[in-house]
Amino acid sequence: MPDESRGFLGTTLPKSKIELSGLAATLLVRPETCAPGVHPANPALRPRDPQPSEMLIFTSPMPSNPTPEPISADLGARSGLDAVNGGSRFLRACLRKPVDRTPVWFLRQAGRYMPEYMAVRRHHTLLEICKRPQLAAEVTITAAEKLDVDAAIIFADLLLPLPTMGLDFEFQAGEGPVVHKPLRTPEDIQRLRSDRAGELSYVAEAIDLVVTHFKDRIGIIGFIGSPFTLASYMIEGGGSRNYVHTKTLMYRQPAAWHMLLEKLVVVLREYAAQQVAAGADVIQIFDSWAGALSVADYRDFVLPITRTLVREVQALGVPVIYFGVDTASLLPAMRETGADVLGLDWRTPLNEAWRKLDYSCAVQGNLDPITLFADPELIRDRVRQILTEAGGRPGHIFNLGHGIVPGTPVEHVQQVVRFVREFVPAGGTLG
C-alpha cells in the first residue's frame, strides 16, 4: 500500500488548514450580499491569505443587455492587481494584464500518459484518487512540477456532483463514465436533490493542500462542469454521438429542462464556492459537448442559464475560464456568458477566433493535442504559429485545444513548455 502522507516529490503534504466540515450549510448564502472576494458566509474563509498585490476585488461585468462590454480599462480596479508586478503570470493573463511571458498549462495534464499517475492508478480507482485529498493533491502537484507549468488544475472529475443529486455512475474500462439510471422523464428530474453539494468538500480539501504546496508560485485552477454538458451526461447516461435524448427533452419538455439546469446551477455554484474558499484562483467551466448544439439552440436553451452560473462564480471573486470543443460557430454566443477567458479548440486558427470575439476577452489554447505525437521540429512550428497569431497581446494562455491523450510522449509536453518560454514575439515584449 502506498503511504498517502508522502508525495511523489518526497515531501510530506501538510494537513488541511481550513476546517471544511459544515461549510456546505454556510455556502447557501447568496454572494451578492458581501464584498467581492470575501467568502459570502464567513469572511474568515477568504480563499488564500491575500498578498497586498493579489487582493482580488473582482466584480464581474453584468451588462443588462446581452451584448458583452469589452473588458478593458477597469480591469485593474476589478482585480485589484498591481498593474506591473502583482499576481501570478497565469492569473494576470486571465485578466488581460501584461505578463513577462505567455503562461502555459495543459488540459488533462495529470492523466494516463504520465507514468507517475499510472503508478497511483495501479493501486487506486479514479474515484478513489478524486475522493482522497492527499492522493488528488499529490497527482495534481506531481504533474504541475514535472511539466513546470504556470497553473495546476485540481485532480477531480466533471461528474462528481452527480451522486450528490441522486444519480450514481461508474467508470467502465474503455467506455468512460456510465450513469446507472439516466434521466428520461420530468419526474426523474423532479426527484433530483440540489442540497448535498457539501458532500464534495474533499475536492476543496485537495485544493487546500495544493495551495499550501505552491503558495503563489503558480495559478491554482478549480473546475466544474457546465449545466449543458452535465445535463447531457445525466440524460444520455454516458458519451453520445447525436444527443438524441438530451435534445428531445430540451425541445419537448422545456420546463423540465430548465428545472434540471436550475438544479445543476444551485449545486455547481456551491461546489465552486467551496473550491474558491479553499484557494482556487480561477474556476474553469467545462462545456465539453457544447459543440453539439446549433447557435440557435445554444442561445435558446443553454446561454441564459450558463450566463447566470458564470456571474455567480465571478461573484465569488475569481475569473472564469469557459471551455468547449468544436465551438467555432458558438464563440460569439459563448462570449455573452461574460466569461473572462474562452477556451479555444484547434479547429479555428487562434487569431481568427480571437478576432471573432473582438479581442473582448482573454483566450486559452489552442494546439491540437495530437500534434504532441509529431517530431519536436513540427511541434515547435505549431507552437510558434499559435504564439505568433496571439501577437503578444495581453490575455493569451497557451494550452491545448482539448486534453492530452494516453500514449502522448511526456518529453514532448515538456518541450512545449520550453518552446513557449523561449518565444519572443516580433516587435518586443508581451503586453
Interacting residues toward ligand CP3 by CB under 6 A: 107-112, 121, 126, 153, 155, 157-159, 171, 176-177, 223, 286, 288, 403
Q: How far is the CB of 352 from ligand CP3 (least distance, A)?
A: 22
3-class SS at 366?
strand
44-48's contacts with Cβ under 8 Å and 24+ in sequence apart are: 45/18, 45/277, 47/276, 47/277, 47/278, 47/279, 47/280, 47/281, 47/317, 47/318, 48/211, 48/216, 48/279
Give backbone dihedrals phi and psi of 299, rounded to 5 degrees, phi first: -65, -40
> Which amino acid is located at 420 in the chain?
V
Q: How far apart are CA 166 and CA 162, in angstroms?
A: 7
Q: Which is nearer to ligand CP3, 45 or 265 (CB)?
A: 265
How far apart are CB 218 and ligand CP3 at their closest, in Å? 14
* Of 43 and 406, CB closest to ligand CP3: 406
With respect to ligand CP3, which residue has the nearer C-beta, 61 or 177? 177
Active site residues: 108, 112, 121, 157, 233
* Shortest spacing between CB 121 and ligand CP3, in angstroms: 6
Q: Which residue, 325 or 361, is less far from ligand CP3 as judged by CB?
A: 325
Beta bridge partners of 219: 151
Residues in contact with 187: Cβ distance below 8 Å, sequence separation at least 6, in sequence order: none
Q: How far is the CB of 270 from ligand CP3 (least distance, A)?
A: 19
Strand-pairing partners, residue 287, are 324
Q: What are the cell numbers at 246?
A: 438530451
* Contacting residues for 424 by C-beta, under 8 A, at least 6 apart: none
Going across the sheet that includes 219-225, the strands are 151-153, 219-225, 282-287, 320-324, 341-343, 362-367, 396-400
**CA 174, chain centre distance (Å):** 24
Q: Which residue is nearest to ligand CP3 (CB)?
A: 288
Q: Do 333 and 295 form a contact (C-beta atoms < 8 A)?
A: yes
Q: Which is nearer to ligand CP3, 250 or 285 (CB)?
A: 285
Pick the closer one to ligand CP3 by CB: 98 or 238.
238
d(CA 396, CA 240) in angstroms, rounded, equals: 32
